[in-house]
Amino acid sequence: MKYLPLNPQLFIENRKRFTSQMQKNAIAIFVSNDEVSSNGDAIYTFKQNSDLFWLSGIEQEDSMVILFPDNPDPKYREVLVLVRPNELKEKWDGKRLRVKEAQAISGISTIVWLDSIDGLLQPWVHLADTIYLDSNENDRKANLLRTREYRFIDEMRSRYPLHQYQRAAKIMKELRGIKTVHEVEVLQKAIDITEQTFRRLLQFIRPGVMEYEIEAEIFHSFLSQRATGTAYNSIIASGDNARTLHYVSNNAECKDGDLILMDFGAEYGGYCADLTRTVPVNGKFTRRQKTVYNACLHLHNYAKSILKPGITIVDYTDKVGEEATQQFLKIGLLRKSDVKNEDPENRAYRKYLYHGISHHLGIDVHDLGTRTEPIKAGMVFTVEPGIYIEEEKMGIRIENNLWITRNGHKDLMKNIPITAEEIEALMKK
């Protein structure tokens, strides 16, 4: 890992939170992600199962976390399973974790090698009444590939058909949605790295620069600050490219007079930042660009003002939609007749703002958390309204990351320049 060691208390607390929700005399088993082949004998860069990382901080492949709070032997109430270090494999692929290293990262005392776990796991399962198994239940999941966790479910059900089985994911959805102070500290570090990178970009962007050159600056800045890398593929969209929400070609020239929408974030310690800013390529907004930008910033600030405990995402989105309607009337995008005759299922403002306003953020960029129940203190959300105008070949989005508190929120990106005047002043320097 490139980042500095994290406080293992983060993972100790997470495990306590999970085990407190387990039924009596139950065992929970979490397995790591697959190493996935790409082409030939190559594999994709390994990415750990988010739930396993949340519980242990372990990024290594072929790992397991086993939680059995009622195990008669206290030594085995928390177990971290690792692949046994192999001298020949390490010559090819690099060093694997030793016992003391894994203990320091995870805070788990008992480390068991993967090649010896079967003999231990069977008697533990025989003692338990209920088995919690993990599955990917992110609402945004689109991949139907049968991954290791689902194959492990099949294996366990085949070997132990008479046990009760429970979904670990149901607990995880509730717990991972609420961030602890330790988690937010790591997230803030990812955000601080992202802030420094954005400030650097304001000095770098100019007419004639290529989108991919900006992307390269982002990657360089992230790595030089100990980030693992990008939290997601950076969106560097100049001119009309900004109307494509997940534009990642990043191969166009940034032209004088255009705006450039940049949606990027660092990953640090397993946690993801998610920033969007839209800036003028030449350092100066035109009058019309500033008008639309300020309308978007108004929506951003309005959304932040109502994002607090008790409101649901549905109600929150509806309220932002009402405010967007008023702003779009004000800046000439909509007429009163457009609003009067709108389809309630496809409201008029949706022509210019056609995506959601917020999503959960954490270990995953689109993190686990409720989308139907009232928002709770401890959740972290993006706030990212946008305005996309086909006729003007213009797209603007402004995004910050907020930690919800009992009485409102804390803007984790409050130090990142956001007003048109701040951006112009920094680009002028």
End-to-end CA distance of the chain: 35
**Do 261 and 120 share a domain, yes or no?**
no
**Do 143 and 216 share a domain, yes or no?**
no
State the total domains in the chain. 2
Q: What pLDDT shows up at residue 146? A: 87
Q: What pLDDT shows up at residue 163? A: 98
Query: Percent of the chain beyond pLDDT 70?
Result: 100
Q: What pLDDT shows up at residue 370? A: 84
**Do 168 and 205 share a domain, yes or no?**
no
**Do 45 and 75 share a domain, yes or no?**
yes
Residues 44-84 pLDDT 10s? 999 999 999 999 999 999 999 999 999 999 999 999 999 99
Query: Which of 44-48, 259-263, 281-285 bottoms out in mean pLDDT, i.e. has the lowest?
Result: 44-48
CB 322 within 8 A of CB 357: no
Residues 384-407 pLDDT 10s? 999 999 999 999 999 999 999 998
In a domain, 387, yes or no: yes
Residues 24-35 pLDDT 10s? 999 999 999 999
Mean pLDDT score, 346-359: 97
Q: What pLDDT shows up at residue 372? A: 87
Query: Percent of the chain beyond pLDDT 90?
Result: 93
Q: What pLDDT shows up at residue 405? A: 97
In a domain, 2, yes or no: no
Interior CA angle at 399 toward 397 and 402, to 5°? 160
In a domain, 156, yes or no: yes
Q: What pLDDT shows up at residue 371? A: 82
**Do 210 and 144 share a domain, yes or no?**
no
In a domain, 301, yes or no: yes
Q: Give yes or no for residue 89 having a pLDDT over 90.
A: no
Per-residue H/E/C for the chain: CCCCCCCCHHHHHHHHHHHCCCCCCEEEEEECCCCCECCCCCECCCCCCHHHHHHHCCCCCCCEEEECCCCCCHHHCEEEEECCCCHHHHHHHCCCCCHHHHHHHHCCCEEEEHHHHHHHHHHHHHHCCEEEECCCCCCCCCCCCCCHHHHHHHHHHHHCCCCEEEEHHHHHHHHHHCCCHHHHHHHHHHHHHHHHHHHHHHHHCCCCCEHHHHHHHHHHHHHHCCCCEECCCCEEEEHHHHHCCCCCCCCCECCCCCEEEEEECEEECCEECCEEEEEECCCCCCHHHHHHHHHHHHHHHHHHHHCCCCCCHHHHHHHHHHHHHHHHHHCCCCCHHHHHCCECCECHHHHCCCCCCCCECCCCCCCCCCCCCCCCCCCEEEECCEEEECCCCEEEECEEEEEECCCCEEECCCCCCCCHHHHHHHHHC
**Do 261 and 132 share a domain, yes or no?**
no
**Do 232 and 376 share a domain, yes or no?**
yes
Mean pLDDT score, 260-277: 98
**Do 215 and 266 share a domain, yes or no?**
yes
The last residue of a domain, from among 141, 172, 203: 172
Q: Give yes or no for residue 143 having a pLDDT over 80.
A: no
Domain around 345: 181-428
Amino acid (1-letter code) at residue 416: I
**Do 235 and 93 share a domain, yes or no?**
no
**Do 165 and 185 share a domain, yes or no?**
no
Q: What pLDDT shows up at residue 259? A: 98
Q: What pLDDT shows up at residue 429? A: 81
List, in order, residues 6 or more apart from 233 with CB less than 8 Å away.
Answer: 248
The last residue of a domain, from among 172, 201, 223: 172
Mean pLDDT score across all residues of the chain: 96
Q: What pLDDT shows up at residue 244? A: 97
Of the pLDDT bands very low, low, confident and very high (cuts 50, 70, 90), residue 240 is very high
**Do 49 and 164 share a domain, yes or no?**
yes
Residues 196-235 pLDDT 10s? 999 999 999 999 999 999 999 999 999 999 999 999 999 9
In a domain, 276, yes or no: yes
In a domain, 315, yes or no: yes
* CATH number of the CATH domain containing 127: 3.40.350.10
**Model pTM score:** 0.96
CB 191 within 8 A of CB 400: no
In a domain, 1, yes or no: no
Q: What pLDDT shows up at residue 128? A: 98
Q: What pLDDT shows up at residue 186? A: 98
Q: What pLDDT shows up at residue 138? A: 82
Mean pLDDT score, 103-107: 98
**Do 65 and 85 share a domain, yes or no?**
yes
The last residue of a domain, from among 172, 196, 222: 172
* CATH number of the CATH domain containing 256: 3.90.230.10
Structure tokens at 398: 């402004």
In a domain, 3, yes or no: no
Q: How far apart are CA 252 and CA 245, in angstroms?
A: 16
Counting every residue written for the chain, the total comes to 429
